[in-house]
Amino acid sequence: MKILMWIGIVFLVIPIVYALVFSAFSFYVNSPNTHNATAYNSKVSNQYYLQDDKVIYVLDGNFFQIGGADVEGADPDTFDVIDQSYAKDINNVYYNGKPVAGANPSSVTLVTSVLASEINENSANSGYLISDGKVFCYGEVIEGADPTSFSYLLGSYAMDKDYLYYFIDIKIPRKAIPTAMPNANDGYLRHGEQVLYHGVVISSEASSFNVINDEYAIDASHVYSHGVIVEGMVSDGFAVISPYYRKDKNQAYYFNTPIPDSDSDTFEVLNDAISKDQRNLYYDGNIVENKKVSEVSRSDADELQKIWKWKSLHLDATTVILVPSDDIEDITNDFYAYNNEVYARDKKLAGVKPEDVIVLDQDENTFVRIGNQVFYYGIAIMGADPETFAVISVRFSKDANHVYWNEHRVIDADPSTFKYEDNLYADENEAGEYSLISN
């Protein structure tokens, strides 16, 4: 018993010792002193250092993984940091170690924040700077910005007397003094009755706008996911039930996909995979046809969630059956055999038997022939001739009439003369056609 106890202690101690040694090693290797480097002002920036009488820039002070790069032309004697990313010397203003064109080192002002008291934020490290009558954002000039009225807001938002700015290229006419949105990250900004998300006006109903979490928000008319309207979802009764499930007054959703025939009032999440209401049992938002709601308790649901024991097979796009994994034969990663029938990823193949599925490339199992159709990763290659079809490489194939890239026809390749070479691939043009490209 004592031997087992000591073995247990050893196995417990080894990873702790390893973690401590790795941390100590990382600290040593990442230390500026190890590299004979001295920060110009570590309280303001951990990115600019003096090393061997040269100025170097180290992204986020990461000597270990990234290392330093010379700030070309920088004068070490007059060099001084302005904030985390901006610095200057007698010759230039620098942003992330690169000279800022058009900036004057003798005329440098950090942009102050008008929302500092509201959101407890200031202008330090905002990315905005004024120099010689010009406004800069992340080292580039904002054309037309008024330096005398320019102020920082939050995140990447700023404004002057006429416009709101988001980064360099988004400019919105000002109608009001912007304010921060309650419970929101700095991608949101209220501008009168407008709500902006990462510089884009997404709503004109700011009075009813409510941020639910970092992903979802609502107003009187819509539900938004990362600032984009979720079509079909309504704000009335909207709630995030769990990381995977949501609902509104009409129905439940698996992520943002409607769960068919679901009842919002009785919908209940049993675990990440299994949910139910008074009508159906659901697996990943699909109706389970071969299990009754009354038959599945929470403990049963936990059992059905074990993917090494149970697998869902699609009958169609919205309906599945749950069957024991041991009873399923994987023909490929896209076709399965169960009870002498064949299932694709999204449907049951009517009238198809396992012996009808012919794998054309046994090494990769990506090209499959079923009757008169050829598939690439389960996607039909439209127009392919099964009688003359041949696999050329992992992605290329051909028949008597065409060459194919994945499931797409290549318009500029002749199957009679086509030869595959390394680094050859096909790319889509604006018309949706694929043509050959070689690196």
Residue with tokens 């999440």, as numbered in its chain? 269
Three-class SS string for 37-51? EEECCCCCCCCEEEE
Q: What is the pLDDT of residue 303?
A: 95
- At 325, the pLDDT band (50, 70, 90 cuts) reads very high
pLDDT of residue 251: 97
Domain ranges across the chain: 2-30, 328-438
CA 214 to chain centre: 14
* Average pLDDT, rounded, for the chain: 90
Is residue 20 predicted with pLDDT exceeding 70? no
Q: Provide the pLDDT for residue 112.
A: 80
CA distance 336 to 349: 10
- Within 84-184, where are the H helices? 116-119
Count of Cβ atoms closer than 10 Å to residue 105 Cβ: 20
Looking at the chain, the whole-number percentage of residues with pLDDT higher than 90 is: 82
Residue 425, token pair as written in the block: 């691939």
Residue type, 235: S
Q: Is the pLDDT of residue 26 over 50?
A: no
Tokens 């649901």, residue? 301
The 10s digit of each residue's pLDDT in 418-434 is 999 988 999 999 999 99
Q: Distance (Å, rounded) from C-alpha 218 to C-alpha 363?
A: 50
How many angstroms separate the CA atoms of 155 and 217, rounded? 18
Range scoring the smallest mean pLDDT among 67-76, 140-149, 312-321, 333-342: 67-76
pTM of the model: 0.79
The predicted structure's pLDDT at residue 68: 82
